Structure 1
Amino acid sequence: MITLNAIVQRSGAAYRAQCGTRLSDHQRRVMHAIEACRTEALGGQVFTCPACQTLRYSYHSCRNRHCPTCQQDAGAAWLTDQQALLLAVPYFLVTFTIPAELRPVARANQAQVYAAMFRASAAALQQVAADPRHLGGQLGMLGVLQTWTRDLRYHPHIHYLIPGVGRTATGQLVFPPAENFLLPMRPLAVLFRAKLRAALRQIPHGTVIPAAVWEHDWVIDCRPVGTGETALKYLAPYIFRVALSNNRLLSADDDQVTFRYRHSDSGENRTSTLPVNTFLDRFMAHILPKGFVKVRYYGFFRPAVRADLRRIQAQLWLLRRHGQFDPGIPQPAALARGAQITPCPVCGIQMQGRHLAPRSARAPPQSVNAPGLA
C-alpha cells in the first residue's frame, strides 16, 4: 500500500535539503516523526501464535497529529468522549472562510491569523445569536480549523457544529424559528469581516492587505446536518483527518505522486499528479503551528460550564416528556468503542504479545503533544 510515510521516507531528506531555511524546525520534526512511524526506530511488539509459531511484528506509531497512519482510528475514541455533549435538537454546520487575497497573510502568520479567525467567527456567532430579533440566547459551539482543499491547496476555514437551541441569561431555552434555519448569514458575514479586519491590523503584514478585500461580500455557509450523533460523525473526520489520507494515494515514485480527490463543484472523482517536491510543499503547508489548538469549544459547550450543559439537557428532556418540544429526532444513543484483538494471519487464533525495545534509546512517544512531535 502506498502511504505518505513511505513517500516521506524516500524523498524527505532531499526535500528538506532543497528547502533549506524555508522549513521551520517544527516542520522538520514533524517530517522526522512521520518517517519513523511504525518502524524499528520506535520499537513495538512481536506477537507469537501459540499454535503454529507464526510471528507478527507491530511497531509503535509516532502519534503525531499530522500523520495519516496514526489518525485513522482516532475518530472513534473522540466520538465516544463527545457523548456527554449531545443534545436532542437539530444540528447545524456553519463554515467561515476567508477570501483568497488573505491567504498569503494567513500562511505567513499562521498562529496569529488562525487564532484571530477563531475569535472573530465565534464572537460574531454569539453576537448575532444574542439579538432578540434572531435567536435571543447564547449558543453552544464546537469549532474545528481546517486548512486544505480536497486537492491539497491552502484554504484555511473553520467549521462550527452548533445545536439548534440557545440559552438566555435567565436560563430559559430559545429555539430557531424553523428546523432548517439557525441564523441569518448576511449580518453574520458582515460582522465576521469587521471583527477579523480589526484583529489583522494588529499582526505583521496586516496593514498591507488590499482594500478591496474588505469591500466585497464575504460568504458564510450554514446547513442542517441532522441529529447530534449524525453531526458528530460528520465532523469527526474534519478533526482527525490530515490533509491527505493514505487511501487516496494512487501511485508514487522518486519523481511524482498521484492522488485522487472529489471535485467540490461536480462531485466527480478526479486525479492530480504532482512533482514529489510540489506534493510535499502542499502537504507541509498544512502543518499546524506547534501547540496550536485546532478544536475549540464556546458558549455552553466550554468545559468550565459543563454544569450549564447538563441543565440544558435536563430542560430539553422535561420539555420533550411533557410534549412542549418535539424536534422530530430520536434521543441520543451511546456510541460504543470496540475492543482490539490480534488474530494470527495463518490460523486465526488470538496471538500472544510481548514488547520490543525501540531501536533508539528513547521510549516511544506517549501523546500527540510529545516534545518535538506535536
Structure 2
Amino acid sequence: MPRPRLEVADIFRKYGPTYRRAKAGHVSLGQLKVMSAIEACRTEALGGHVAACTKCDHHHIAYNSCKNRHCPKCQGPAARDWMAARAEDLLPVEYFHVVFTMPAEIARIAYWNQKAVYGLLFRASAQTVMTIAADPKRLGAKVGMTSVLHTWGSALTHHPHIHMIVPGGGLSLDGTRWVACKPGFFLHVRVLARLFRRLFLEGLMELHRAGQLAFFGDLDRLALSDPFAQWLAPFRKTEWVVYAKPPFGGPEAVLAYLSRYTHRVAISNHRLVCADADTVAFRWKDYRIKHGDRQTVMRLATTEFIRRFLIHVLPDGFHRIRHYGLLASSARKTNIAKIRAILRVHLAEQTSEPEPDPQITPLTLREPCPCCGGPMRVIEIFRRGQMPMSRAPPREQAA
C-alpha cells in the first residue's frame, strides 16, 4: 500500500516542538513519549534492515517501527497477530456488537481519573451483560465477551465508550448445554442501559469513598461527599445510551470487524487531508447529518489537533482490550473446548485468518517484491543511528 501523503508523524515532526514549548508543564510524560515514538517511527532514528528480492535485483531499506500502541502506522502487525490468536476462540454462532457510553459530564471526570473510571467502565458494562444474560427470564446462560475501549469520537473529542463483541448465547447455568439467543436478537438494550447506569454510578460512589477520584477547576467542590452525591443524583434518572448493532454475518465478519476495532487509534493517517503551521484538516463523520453522506472535512488549529490526539493517550500499563465471563483468560481455553464439544465443532471447521484492514500497512517481509512479486529477504540489519552499508532506496514500510 502506498504511503499516505500526510501522516500524524509529519505533523508531530514539523509542529510538535513548537507545541511542546508552548504547553510546557501541561503535557504529561506519557504524552511526550508517544509524540517522540511517533516522530521516530520508521525513520533512521530506530534503525532497520535492507530487504532484497530473491528473483530480481530490487533492494530497499525498511526502517523499524516504534510499536507504540498509539501510533497509526504500528497497529497492523499487532492487530494481525492478535487476530490470529483470537481465531482459535471463534464459535459457529451468531455474534453481537453492543456499545456502552457514559454521559459527557461524567466523561470529564473520567479524563481526570483514567485508570479508575475507565476500569469501572469495563467492569460495569461486562457485569451488566453477564447479569442480564444469566437471568432465567432473559437468556438464562453464562456468557462471555471481548470488550474494547475507545476514548474518541470521529472529531477526536473525548468520548469514552466500550465496544463489546458477544457470542449469541452461552452455557446453561448448570454448564451442560448451549443456550442460543433468538435469531437476530441478544438482550433488551433498555434493560441493559438501566442496570449499567446503576452499576456504574454505584461504582463511581465507591471510588469516591475510597479517595480514588480527583477533581479540578469548577468541579473541585465534588471532592466532598455531599456535593458529589448531589451532583450525581440527576444522572440516576436520565436515559444512558446503550445500543446494539445488527448481528454479524458469521465468524469471518467478526474477525474482519475486530481487526479494525481492537487496535484502532484516535485517527488514521488516511483521514488526514492537509496541514500547515496554523490548521490541520481531516475527514470525519458528522452524525448530525441524518440523511446522505456524513463524511465531511473538519479544520482545527494545529495546536488543537495535537491536543485532541494526545488526550487519547492511555496510562502506562492500562489494557484497552479485555475478556470477561466464558472468555476470561484464566478459563477461556477450557470453556471454548467445552462449548465446541457441546456444539460438536472442531477447530478445523473454524474460519481462516482474515485479510488485514486496507488502512493498515502490512509487515515488510510479508509483502512480495514491488517489481516482480517475488519473496523478499533481509540481507542487512543496522542499529539505531547507523547507516546501512548496502545502497538502496528507502521504503516507508517497516518490520
When residues 55 and 166 of structure 1 are mapped into structure 2, their CA distance, relative to the original with a 3 A threshold, is closer
2:396 is matched with none
Cα offset, 1:256, TM superposition: 1.1
1:369 is matched with none
- Which string of whole-angstrom CA distances, capped at 9 and with x for unpartnered residues, describes residues 90-119 of structure 1? 110011000111111011111111000111
1:371 is matched with none
Quick one: distance in 1 between partners of 2:199 and 2:171?
A: 24
Quick one: distance in 1 between partners of 2:308 and 2:166?
A: 31
Quick one: distance in 1 between partners of 2:126 and 2:153?
A: 22
2:316 is matched with 290
1:61 is matched with 65
Please say if 1:84 is aligned against 2:88: yes
Paired AA for residue 248 in structure 2:
V
Cα offset, 1:232, TM superposition: 2.5
Quick one: distance in 1 between partners of 2:100 and 2:115?
A: 17
When residues 198 and 47 of structure 1 are mapped into structure 2, their CA distance, relative to the original with a 3 A threshold, is same
Please say if 1:308 is aligned against 2:335: yes
Please say if 1:281 is aligned against 2:307: yes
Cα offset, 1:52, TM superposition: 7.9
1:162 is matched with 166
Match of 1:41 among 31, 41, 45: 45
Is contact 2:193-2:241 (8 Å) kept? yes
Paired AA for residue 333 in structure 1:
T
Quick one: distance in 2 between partners of 1:118 and 1:170?
A: 26
Matches within 5 A, 1:128-147: 128-147=132-151
Match of 1:29 among 18, 28, 33: 33
Quick one: distance in 2 between partners of 1:270 and 1:13?
A: 29
Quick one: distance in 1 between partners of 2:19 and 2:105?
A: 28
Cα offset, 1:210, TM superposition: 4.3
Cα offset, 1:262, TM superposition: 2.4
Please say if 1:317 is aligned against 2:344: yes
2:392 is matched with none
Please say which of residues 191-200 and 170-179 is displaced more in the overlay. 170-179
When residues 219 and 349 of structure 1 are mapped into structure 2, their CA distance, relative to the original with a 3 A threshold, is closer
Match of 2:175 among 166, 171, 176: 171
Paired AA for residue 37 in structure 1:
C
Cα offset, 1:48, TM superposition: 4.9
Quick one: distance in 2 between partners of 1:51 and 1:312?
A: 48
Match of 1:105 among 91, 104, 109: 109
Cα RMSD after superposing both structures = 2.4
TM-score computed with the length of structure 1 as normaliser? 0.86
Match of 2:242 among 220, 234, 246: 220
When residues 12 and 125 of structure 1 are mapped into structure 2, their CA distance, relative to the original with a 3 A threshold, is same
TM-score computed with the length of structure 2 as normaliser? 0.81
Cα offset, 1:314, TM superposition: 1.6
Quick one: distance in 2 between partners of 1:95 and 1:28?
A: 31
Paired AA for residue 162 in structure 2:
I
Cα offset, 1:56, TM superposition: 1.9
Paired AA for residue 287 in structure 1:
V
1:335 is matched with 353
Quick one: distance in 2 between partners of 1:309 and 1:4?
A: 40
Please say which of residues 153-162 and 205-214 is displaced more in the overlay. 205-214
Any gaps of 5 or more consecutive residues in structure 1?
321-330, 361-374
Quick one: distance in 2 between partners of 1:309 and 1:72?
A: 27
1:366 is matched with none
- Count of residue pairs brought into register by the alignment: 349
Identity, in percent, stands at 37
- Which string of whole-angstrom CA distances, capped at 9 and with x for unpartnered residues, describes residues 54-111 of structure 1? 6522110000000001113433332221111111111100110001111110111111
Quick one: distance in 1 between partners of 2:354 and 2:320?
A: 25
Quick one: distance in 2 between partners of 1:313 and 1:349?
A: 40
2:252 is matched with 229
Please say if 1:14 is aligned against 2:41: no
